[in-house]
Amino acid sequence: MKDCIIQYWNSGANGYNKGIQRLLHSHKENSGWKSVFSEYLNDKPLKVLDIGTGPGSMSILLAEMGHFVSAVDLSEQMLHCARENAKECNVTVDFKVGDAENLPFEDNSFDAVVNRWVLWTVPNPKAALSEWTRVLKPGGRLLIFDGNWYSGEKTCVQKAWKHGSRFYTLLSERRNMWKRDMDNTFVDGLWSTHANRPEDDCTLFMNAGLVNVKSSLDLNKKVYTLSDYIRQGHWGDTFIVTGVKPDGTEK
C-alpha cells in the first residue's frame, strides 16, 4: 500500500502543485491558514515538523510566520515542488524524505507537529500517532487537518457536485481530475474509508497518550475561498484535531 501511495503522489505532484501555488498566492486563503495556526500555536517562534508536506504549503506558511520548520514526505516529486515553492516564497524549510510511520528524528525534538490531508492515507494510523507523539517535546502540540474523503455514503447532490467540480478544475487549472481517481480496491483498504471521523481520530490521539484532545468541524469556513468550495465542497466538512503531549503538570 505504501508503494501505491508513493506512486500516486509522485505521478500527480505537478498537477497538485498548481492548487498549492494558488493557495500560497491567495491572500484570503493564505491568511486563513495563518489565522488557524495562530489560534492553536504560540506566537513565539517554534520548532515545527510538517509531516506529509507535499508541495510544502503548510511548511512555507509556518516559516513565513517565523517558525523553524522541518518537513518530510515520501514522494521525491512532491519534495522537488516544495523546495521550488519555498525558494519562490523566499523562506527556509528543511525538507527531507521521511516516512510518517518511521520518522528520522530524535525523541522530543519539536514544539509542534502538523500535517494537512495526510492521516487518511497512512497505512497504520496507530504507528503514525505513536511516532508523531514520540518526536514531540513534553507540552508540545499535535495539530492535524483532514476530511472524510471516502468514508460514508455520498448524497446524489455530492456526487453531481463532484462531477461539476471536475469540469471547473479542468477549465480553471487545465487539470484533468478524472485521471486522478484512486483504485477502488486501494481506497477500500484505507483505514479512513471505514472510520467515523473525527471521533476515531480523537481516539487515536488519546491512545497515543495525548491529552486535551479536541476536534472542530469548522475548518472549511476558516480557510476555503469560493473557488475552493466549488472545487472541494462536495467532500463535506474538513476538520481539525489537536492534542498535547503530557509534561507532568496536568491535573
Residue 176 to residue 180: CA distance in whole angstroms: 8
For position 83, what pLDDT does the model report? Answer: 97
Q: Which of 58-67, 143-152, 181-190 has the highest mean pLDDT?
A: 58-67
Question: Radius of gyration (Cα) for the chain, nearest Å?
Answer: 17
Express each pLDDT in 76-86 by its tens digit: 999 999 999 99
Residue 181 has pLDDT above 70, yes or no: no
More confident residue, 197 or 169: 197
Is residue 206 in some structural domain?
Answer: yes
Whole-model pTM over 0.85: yes
Whether the Cβ atoms of residue 83 and residue 59 lie closer than 8 Å to each other:
no
Residue 28: predicted pLDDT: 84
In a domain, 49, yes or no: yes
pLDDT at 228: 82
User: Residue 37: is its pLDDT beyond 90?
Assistant: yes
- Domain holding 40: CATH number? 3.40.50.150
Residue 108 located in a structural domain: yes
Inside any domain, residue 166: no
Q: Is residue 190 part of a domain?
A: no
171: in domain: no
Structural domain that includes position 85: 2-148+195-218+238-244
Q: How confident is the model at residue 250 (pLDDT cuts 50, 70, 90)?
A: low
- Region of residue 175 (left: phi > 0; alpha: psi -120 to 50; beta: else): beta
Domain count, the chain: 1
Whether the predicted pLDDT of 9 surpasses 90: no
Q: Please tell me the distance from the alpha carbon of residue 57 to that of residue 36, in angstroms, as a whole number.
A: 14
Q: What's the mean pLDDT in 71-75? A: 96
Q: What is the pLDDT of residue 224?
A: 85
| pLDDT band at residue 180 using 50, 70 and 90 as cut-offs | low
**Residue 242 to residue 142: CA distance in whole angstroms:** 6
